[in-house]
Amino acid sequence: MTDAARWKATVYVGGLASVVTTRNLHDAFIPFGEIVDITLPKNDAPNATEPHRGFAYVEFEDAEDAKEAIDNMDQSELFGRVLKVSAAKPPKSAEEGLGSKTAIWEQEGWLAEHNVSEEDRAAAAAGAKGSIDDDRPEDPMQGLEGLDVAGPKPE
């Protein structure tokens, strides 16, 4: 299964109580389809007392099962807490975007999106020199600068 297909078959489960385990999540989500993996991220802080960070990722075998789980489990209750269940977003690359260590204009994605060819630059320069088409219609608002009263002229 490709990474894109895996993320389509994965749901984010937020708002978990600290007593929730992977076994509890498996039991809660198995009615919607075959579960491939459950990830319950641990709290990395050295002084943390919670066993996990309060969210999990549940990966299903099929993307349709993930949609079914989202439809049925979002805003449901587990161990006294209301769950937020939604489609999981793929993690952002540390090499791309605003959180990276390189300047945004040096990144491949930004360059590909904002690339300007030499032909485009030449056309822009020609347009700036005054090669404006004379077949454009005249501005209908031209010559109305002095009018400060709306309506017909008083006699």
* Whole-prediction pTM: 0.59
Average pLDDT, integer, range 105-122: 73
The chain-wide mean pLDDT, for the chain, equals 81
What average pLDDT does the segment 37-62 reach? 88
In this structure, the chain runs to a length of 155
User: Residue 155 and residue 143: Cα distance in Å, rounded?
Assistant: 21
Helices 22-29 and 63-73 sit at what angle, rounded to 10 degrees? 100
Distance (Å, whole) CA 12 – CA 4: 15
CA angle 53, 86, 90 (to 5 degrees): 75
Interval 55-86: pLDDT, tens: 999 999 999 999 999 999 999 999 999 999 99
